[in-house]
Amino acid sequence: MLINQTFEIDSCDDVELNIKRTSKLEYRISYDDEKDIKAIVFVIGGYGANANISFLDFDREYIAKNFDVVVVHVFYHCFCARISNNKKYSASISFMEEDLLSLSKILLDFGINPQNLDCKNSTKYYELLIQHIITLKSQGKLAQNYQAKFTSTFIPP
């Protein structure tokens, strides 16, 4: 029978990127307990995308079903530094000090006064900008394929 298990352990900080780990390191294993296990296979999933992580489980389970192996998938340190449909693994968008200049510029381009813009209220300005763009598009005053270009920061959960 196929066995799936999830474990969370303490781990180290990312010294290369100078990021302190605040969450546990999660890894998942799959194996068939009716097979004579011949190897351990480590899978590095994600490949730059984790909007829907169900494919990671599918791949791990497929390999475990079809080969005499234990398959281990580790959710590596910055795996959750992207937007995902699963809140536990999804980064949130925030505007840091270095993002405010680009947001301020785009606000000015649309005639929105950014005079009081700061990190604490930036999300309100962002939402105001998005609503303004939606309104302009619905009125035919802005191309439907228009995309505002500014920076923000993904904050891991």
The two beta strands, 39-43 and 92-94, are unpaired
Residue 95 Cα to chain centre, angstroms: 16
Token pair of 121, please? 């209220």
Q: What local confidence, expressed as pLDDT, does residue 155 receive?
A: 77
Angle at 113 between CA 112 and CA 116, to 5 degrees: 135
The answer to whether 122 and 115 are in contact (CB under 8 A) is no
Q: What is the mean pLDDT of residues 109-118?
A: 94
Closest CA to 142 of 150, 152, 132, 151: 132
Q: Which residue has the tokens 């234990």?
A: 70
Q: Where are the domains of the chain?
A: 2-90, 97-155
Lowest mean pLDDT among 10-19, 49-58, 96-105, 141-150: 49-58
pLDDT digits (tens, 9 = 90+) for 41-90: 998 876 655 666 777 788 899 999 999 999 999 876 565 667 777 777 77
Instruction: Say how far apart CA 112 and CA 109 lie, in whole Å.
Output: 8
CA-CA distances (angstroms) from residue 34 to 1, 2, 37, 63? 6, 8, 9, 15
Q: What local confidence, expressed as pLDDT, does residue 35 receive?
A: 96
